[in-house]
Amino acid sequence: MQDRCEADFNYLKDIGLDTPIWGVTPLEMNDFVGTEWVADWLDELWCKNYKINIKSGIKRFSKTWEGHGKAIVMVGASPAVLKQIETLKTLDDNFIIVACNGIYGKLIESGVRVDYIMALEARDHIVSDFVIQNDHAELIVSPFVAPGVLDAWKGKTSFYHLGGGRKYSELLKSEGITDEDIGGGNAINTACAWAFKYLSSGDFILIGTSFCYYQDYYFDKRTTEHVCKFDDEKSVRAVDIYGTAVKVTPSQLMYKTWLENFIKQLKPYANFINATEDGILGVVPNILSVDGEDVKYSLVYLPWINIIPFDMAVKSYRQLFLTQGD
């Protein structure tokens, strides 16, 4: 969500893929992620929403040890999550479930316990995600979230002081907020940063985080007009965990790149499992040859991200919790 890149996102050099191969030059990821993704109109909207929301009296989320010794399950809104609802329903209090706003209602309707919801969007199209209320879940929002979200949600709410945007960052500083929180462009990436810092979490399981689209972008086929306009003839291609060429948007590539680098930076302190069971998180192509549109490649899996099925990840953590109890 922030529009400036300070970390080194060029992790391709760490796996030996940063040099041109057969005329194909790898994307300079620092330039890519460091691009200003916050348009002027959005920066203005953030400032406008902040001035409204700050009057609500909502407090900043306080640091806790709630996540210490537990597994945090981050639930995104890609269609892959529909295959994992039944496993989610079996999770006990050793697992903390954090949902993005798009999937929250589906989880509650399906009988899944949701502990936290992360919502960042400044535009009001996400207000309808909060028609369903829940007394247990706590809503974590950016101070620039669409004000209608705060009007709709009747439960506990806390701010995550996400930075980003030139005018918005200046506004925060004028309000005495100099320790902006970091974000990774979307709700799930930002929730990972929030949980690591504020829940003292060290174990993460990611589902519903495909970062590409097969037939559908969202699990519920909702409109993508607020994401981007899709043109299959000009779509960007990436490679999923099975080696299949898939369609992605530039934003999805940015989310993937940011999260992969974030996980790499946290590797000494946290474990991350990609249990989405599809998508492009944790894998990059190694280009072997290019002949026109015929591209041959092998797969390189990022060594700092584990990729296993969701039910296997849950079973492994349950066994770990039993061992810790002994």
pLDDT above 70 (res 9): no
pLDDT tens-digit map of 299-316: 999 999 999 999 999 999
pLDDT at 28: 58
Average pLDDT of the segment spanning 159-188: 88
Angle, helices 40-53 vs 166-174, to 10°: value is 30
Share of the chain above pLDDT 90, in %: 62
Query: Would you say residue 30 has pLDDT above 60?
Result: no
Which of the pair, 75 or 293, is modelled with greater confidence?
75
For 39, list phi and psi in degrees, rounded to 5: -70, 160
- State how far Cα 166 lies from the chain centre: 22
Question: Mean pLDDT across the stretch 115-141?
Answer: 95
Cα–Cα dist 217/219, whole Å? 7
Phi, psi (deg, nearest 5) at residue 258: -60, -50
Rounded Cα–Cα distance for residues 187 and 77 (Å): 10
The per-residue pLDDT of the chain, averaged, comes to 87
Confidence band for 34, pLDDT divided at 50, 70 and 90: very low
Once rounded to an integer, what is the mean pLDDT over residues 44-65?
95
Q: Which one is predicted more confidently, 21 or 289?
A: 289
Q: What pLDDT, on a 0 to 100 scale, did the predictor assign at position 163?
A: 81
What pLDDT, on the 0 to 100 scale, is given for residue 20?
A: 54
* Gyration radius of the chain over CA positions: 20
Distance CA 143, CA 135 (A): 22
Largest CA distance in the chain: 60
